[in-house]
Structure formats: C-alpha cells, structure tokens
Amino acid sequence: MARRENRWDLGGRDLGLVLAEARLHGGRSLARDAWARFRRDWSALGALAFLVLLTGVSLLAPLLPLPSPTTMNLENAQAAPVLPWEQPVDYGYSGEHPGLNRVDALLVKLRFKALGSRQTGPWMGTDGKGRDVLARVVWGSRTSILVALAAALTSLLIGVSYGAVAGLVGGRTDRLMMRAVDVLQSLPFIFVVIFVLALLNAPRDELGAEPLLGRQTVLFVVIGAVWWLTMARVVRGQVLALRGAPYVAASRAMGASTAHVLRVHVVPNVLSIVVVYLTLTIPSVMLFEAFLSFLGLGVASPGVSWGVLAADGVDAIHPLKVSWWLVVFPAAAMGATLFALNLVGDGLRDALDMRGEGGRA
C-alpha cells in the first residue's frame, strides 16, 4: 500500500510538469471545437464573410456615397449602366430621404456634411423613374435583412422557449400548447397579412388620419407572430428525446426546478439544431417578404425592398425595350445572399455534428 501511495505522491517539479502538459493538451469546449471545424470549410467561411459585409453595408447605407433611392430624375429614366471608371462620381446628391427614422436621418446629415453633393454614378443604371438601381439594391437589402433577423430572433426567443416547455412538461399541458400551434399554423400567411392590413388601415373616423401601423411594421409583426411555430415543433421533438436522459432524471431527483432543467440541461443540448434551423429560416423569410412586396402587400412606397425591385423589373420588361439591369442586379443580390446563407447553414450543420466528420460523403 505504501508503494501505491508513493506512486501518486508528486513533488513540486513533477507536479509542475504534469500541470504544464495538462494545459498543453487541455480539452476544448464544444463551441471551440465546432468553430475549429467550421473554419476548415472555406466555402462556408467565405459565405459568412460575405454576409457580414452585406449586413454592414446595408446598415451603414445612409453613410455611404450613394444617391437617394427615392430621388427621381425623369430625364435620365431607364439609363443603361455605366462602368465605374467612366463616371466614377456624380454631384447630384440632394440629401432627400423621405420616411427615415431618427437614426438614419442623423446618419444622412453626417454623410451630407462629410461628402457634400458627391455620389456614385449610375453604375447599375436607373429605373423607369430615374432612380439609381445601385442605391435601391443596397437600401432594399436593409428591409430584407431586418425582416429576416426579426423572424430569427422571434423564433429563437418564443419558439425555443415554447417548444422546450411543452416537451419537458408533457401531459395535458403539452397537448394544449401544441394544439394552439396547430391552429395558428393552419392559417394561411397571406390571408393573415391581408386581414391585419385591412384591420389597421381601415377608414378612420377622422379624414386624413394616419394608419395605426405602417405596412413595413405590419410585415414585421405578422412574420414575427407566425414564424416561430415550426421552431417550436422542432425543439419540442428534441426535448421529448432528451426528457428521459439520465442527467435530466438525476437533476430532477436532486430537486431541480423545471426552469433549472431547461436552462442547464435541455436548451444547451438543442442549440445545435436551433442554430442550423435558423440558417434555414432566414432565407425563407427573405423570400416570403419579397413575395409579399411583389404582390403589393409588403413594403409600400417610398420604402424599398428586393421584392419591390422585382416588381419594378417585371414592369420594365416589354417587347419594345428590355431593361435587363432592372432584373439582373436585384436578382443577383438576392440570389447571392440566399446562396451564402445556404452555404453557412451547410457548414454549421457539419461543424455542430458531434459524430466526427459531419456526415460528409
């Protein structure tokens, strides 16, 4: 026995070597391990960099030297694109941006003071009313990105919480909560949007009264109200599989509350599924917003979105003259964004797969 005790009796020097080796070969967290696998996927990493750049450009659009997306110039209507080195700068910026919030209006003032009337030339051409297509593509991305982020955050906050509670509590509570999800999910989205728009924009008692909410706000509210339903179903299914896990049973046996079990054991174990599903939610929301705006149920003038640009592009195509730039550039921007989102989702699926190589063929 004495020998065995002396075997583990480390001196100061030996103990320091053991600790140094433990620090050198120490284990990594699941997040660091997933990030290391994600960085090895160059296509997903490049797509993520593109999305970060697009988000930064769209959010900082009021500071960029772009023309106003709403300023009309009928003398230069449906002008073809020019190369940047042929007309790098124009001096027609007026600073007129109707319908801006306070933050964007302040950014536009700062941009006007710094750059004056200088703006980019018609590098992507102009539309039928002489508005710059490049500016409208950049400003239109803001609406699509904000709507997608609103739906993603709503799915994350409401969908994960709702589905986790329903799956963990079970029984009658689970059945009642999921029947409510069934009822909401059975309502067609387009009819919900039409109903809410008709309700909030109904004729008021006072002539000339403003509607209760603008169309863009209604779009945010409706999409946020219904897009968490599928997330709740996905999370509930995962929680039902985790509810019988030994660590959950042990935590309950030790007297842990339902909130503690959800916070410590359940939610961290479903985050990988949640993150991957969010990358699928964002492009779906972008397409849905573009579809509603194309039908005239989404963003209204003077607002601009990729769906509004698609509608303008359809109106510009006729047998006598085809203004291809009104279709190609907005479609390329939306297509590149959706493609990048799919690449990032693919990379996250492989990186968060704890079975090793992410199931790659």
- Residue 12: inside a domain, yes or no? no
**Cα–Cα distance list, 82 to 115, 229, 248, 323, 348 (Å):** 22, 46, 64, 14, 39
Residue 107: inside a domain: no
Helix (H) or strand (E) holding 330: helix 325-351
- Residue 46 banded pLDDT, cuts 50, 70, 90: very high
More confident of the two residues 24 and 347: 347
| Buried residues in 15-43 as b, exposed as e (16+ CB within 10 A) | eeeeeeeeeeeeeeeeeeebeebbeebee
Range 228-243 average pLDDT: 87
**Greater confidence, 44 or 204?**
44
96 in a domain, yes or no?
Answer: no
Domain, as residue range, for 270: 30-60+131-351
**What is the token pair recorded at 95?**
């600073």
Number of domains forming the structure of the chain = 1
Residue 111 has pLDDT above 80, yes or no: yes
Listing DSSP states for 126-182 in one string gives B-TTS-BHHHHHHHHHHHHHHHHHHHHHHIIIIIHHHHHHHHHH-HHHHHHHHHHHH
pLDDT the model gives residue 207? 47
Determine the pLDDT at residue 360.
39
Does 204 score more than 60 pLDDT?
A: no
Q: 181 versus 78: which is more confidently predicted?
A: 181
Amino acid at residue number 199 = L
- Single-letter amino acid code for the residue at 173: T
Q: Looking at residue 340, what is its pLDDT?
A: 92
Q: Residues 6 or more apart from 80 whose CB is under 8 A from it?
A: 125, 323, 325
What region does 130 belong to: left with phi over 0, alpha with psi -120 to 50, or beta? left
Are 356 and 53 contacting, i.e. CB atoms less than 8 angstroms apart?
Answer: no
**pLDDT tens per residue across span 276-308:** 888 888 888 888 888 888 777 777 777 788 888
Judging by beta carbons within 10 Å of its beta carbon (0-12, 13-18, 19+), is residue 244 exposed, middle or buried? exposed
Task: Give the model's pLDDT for residue 10.
Answer: 52
CATH number at residue 347: 1.10.3720.10
Does residue 67 sit within a domain? no
Lowest-confidence pick of 8-17, 65-74, 194-203 = 8-17
Residue 20 inside a domain? The answer is: no
Q: How many CA atoms lie within 13 A of 322 on its CB side?
A: 4
Domain membership flag for residue 90 = no
User: Measuring CA to CA, how many Å separate 29 from each of 33, 66, 238, 305?
Assistant: 6, 44, 22, 41
**pLDDT greater at residue 271 or residue 113:** 113
Query: pLDDT at residue 13 above 90?
Result: no
Q: Which residue has the tokens 């009337």?
A: 117
Q: How many CA atoms lie within 13 A of 104 on its CB side?
A: 15
Contact between 142 and 59 (Cβ < 8 Å) = yes
Residue-level pLDDT at 28 = 61
Residue 161 located in a structural domain: yes
| Residue 102 in domain | no
Say if residue 189's pLDDT is above 70. yes
Percent of the chain's residues with pLDDT above 90 = 9
